[in-house]
Each structure stands twice: as structure tokens, then as C-alpha cells.
Amino acid sequence: MMLSVVAGHIANFPFGEVFYYYQVAGFFLLSGYFFHYDKYADRFSKFLKSRSKLICQYLIYSAIIISTHNLLTEFGLQPTNYIYYSPADYVTAFIRSITIPSEALAGAMWFIPVLILMQFVFYWLNRVVKENKLLIGSSVLILFFIGWWIVKSNAIANNPYINTHIPNAQYFVYLPFFYIGYVFKKFGFKSLSSINAMLPALIVIVLSYIVIRPTMYLYGSIDPYCFIFLSLISISLVIGISYHIKSNILVRFFTTIGENTVHILAMHFFFFKIATLLLTIVGLKQIDDLHRIDGPSNGSIIETITYTYLSFGIVFPLVLVSLVRKIRSKIFVNKYSPA
């Protein structure tokens, strides 16, 4: 999933539209699959504590990116329309980050506040209806259409103030996927790996891409039924394929990526900039490309630059996190080791 997220943020990545069939919805579906409501059902404080690490990681990354806004703007690592922040602007930006990241380099991190809000909604929904499956399912469906209306409503979108906060409604829109993942916890996904499940899913995806090529972004022209249907079909195919990955190296690599999702979300746009800077130095890119949010590419499937961005966006965050962890472990070992 995370490979698809990073690749989807590279301009004109080959067949990049297909990634949006499943990457966002799949992220929330798998989050629901690994959500353990029973562990926290008795006490909300226990549930809140279980989210604390994720919340802290998000707040720390947001604070770092927002606090360096002026420096990044000065070095041309932000869009050209970005202005220098005053002290009040810093405070406003940090408050807005709770709704959705307002910084270009933090844009991909909107997944995290939406996920946290979604988990809060789902937790309290379970408690209020006392885990009644019928009420939960119907409530999730109703909330989905409410969220869809909020996101799609032109009246709301045309309001400059409210429009800033519209992405909040995405925790309603993606709630059905979270719930489906939660339900599948009891059954598992093994059945999706059969050829009888994978082949029809592949045919549907290929035909939809060729015939209608739907815009699977929430702000595109897709209708809600096609959005849910194609997302679920695409997710099922990706999960089915994952069961056929037998290489230990690949399994370990993908597992490592999954375990470092927050770090990759937070840092891959920054490392796109580093890649652009290096490509500019060797004459393959223009200096103006540093002002772009995504990783520029001409979209060729054999284009080296395309995979340079993908490598920088995935590998470098992992390397940096690994180095930080090693340094931190050595500091703690030296600090607490006997004299």
C-alpha cells in the first residue's frame, strides 16, 4: 500500500491512476482489520493511551515541518506562492494540521488525523449501540453518505473557511472500509488469494481503466457506488496478490515499509525534494522543479528519474529512521550501563 502511495505522488507515474483505486481505501481497511476494540471496550482511557504513540508521531512531524516553514521557503523547497510565516501564522498552521496538514511537505500525512478521528468515531459508535452489528452497519452507511455530501457539496466547497475543514469529512467517507476490515478480522483474507477471486477482480479493474478511467479521488467526478465497488474490488486483488509473495526478502521489505508507514508518509515529499536537487545538479531537472509538491517525471515506464523518486521516497526515510533508532539505542545503553 505504501509503495502505491509514494508512487501515486510522483507526477505521471505509469498507470498511477490505478493506485488510487485501492491505496487510500486499502489503508483504512487494513487499519480496521488490525483494530482491537475488545482490548479497550471497558475503558476509554485505555483506548486513548493505545493511540498516544501515533498521535505523538504525527504531532512531532507536523511541528518539525511547520516550524521549518520559513527556512524551507527560503531554500525554494515550497511552492512559489508560499509566504513567510509570522508567529501567529505558525500557531494557525499547527491548529489547522489537526484537521488536515496545511504544509506542502506534510500533505500526505492527512491519513493520520483522519485515521485517528475515524477510530474515535468507530470506538464510540460501538459503545453507544453496545456492539449491535445491525446498528453499527447502518450507522456506518449513513455516516458515509453524510460525509460524501459534505465533501461533494459545492455550497460548502465554495465557502473559503469551511472548505479548509472539508477533509475532516473523509473519516466518514472511508469509515465503511475501516468497518469492513474490522469485520473481516474474524474470517481473514485467505479466500481472496484464489484464482476465482483474483481473475474477475483483475478483469473489472482493467475494463474500468480502459473504458471509463474513473477519477477515484474524492474530489473527482466519481459517484459513491462506483467508488465503493471499485475500491473493494481493487483492494481484494492487491490482498490476494500479497498471499502469493513467497520471497523472504520481499516479505521482509514490505513488512518493514508497513511498520514505518508514518515515517514514510511524513518524509517522502521532503526526499522528493532532495532527489530533485540532485537531479538539478547533474542537469536532468530545472531549478523551478524544486517548487513543485510532487516528484516530477515524464511518466515513462523505463524512465530512470521516475524510479529515482520512488527510491528516494521509500528507502531514504527507512534509512534515516534506522540510523536514528541506532543512535538512540546507543545513547540509552551508554546512559544506563553500569560504570
| Model pLDDT for residues 160-172, shown as the tens digit of each residue | 666 555 556 678 8
**To the nearest whole number, what is the mean pLDDT of the chain?**
85
Angle at 258 between CA 255 and CA 264, to 5 degrees: 130
Instruction: Give whole-number Cα distances, 236 to 20, 54, 137, 201, 210, in Å.
Output: 14, 27, 20, 7, 20
Q: Does residue 147 contact residue 171 with C-beta atoms inside 8 Å?
A: yes
Do residues 322 and 267 touch, judged by C-beta distance below 8 A? no
Q: 156: which DSSP letter?
A: H
Q: What is the pLDDT of residues 110-120, one digit of tens each?
A: 888 889 989 99
Q: What is the mean pLDDT of residues 116-137?
A: 90
Of the candidates 217, 218, 226, the one whose C-alpha atom is nearest the C-alpha of residue 149 is 218
Beta-bridged to residue 67, according to DSSP, are none
d(CA 113, CA 101) in angstroms, rounded, equals 9
Of the chain, the percentage scoring pLDDT greater than 90 comes to: 39
- How is 279-313 classified by DSSP, letter by letter? HHHTTSS-GGGGG-SSB-----TT-HHHHHHHHHH
Scanning the structure block, which residue is given the C-alpha cell 518539525?
A: 64
Residues contacting 140, CB < 8 A, separation 6+: 125, 175, 176, 179
Taking each helix axis as running N to C, give the angle between helix 175-183 and helix 111-128, from 0 to 180 degrees, rounded to the nearest 10. Answer: 60
Tell me the pLDDT band of 330, cut-offs 50, 70 and 90: confident
Q: How many residues does the chain have?
A: 339
pLDDT, tens digit, 9 for 90 and up, residues 17-76: 888 888 889 999 999 999 988 888 888 889 999 999 999 999 999 999 999 999 988 888
Cell of residue 288, nine digits: 523551478
Query: Which residue type does 270 have?
Result: F
Nine-digit cell at 304? 530512470
330's grid cell: 546507543
pLDDT at 296: 57
Interhelix angle for 16-33 vs 224-242, to 10°?
80
Q: What is the pLDDT of residue 1?
A: 76
CB hemisphere CA count around 198 (13 angstroms): 15
Q: Which residues contact 262 (CB under 8 A, 6 or more apart)?
A: 54, 57, 58, 61, 109, 112
What are 238-270's pLDDT values in tens digits?
Answer: 999 999 998 899 889 988 998 899 999 999 988
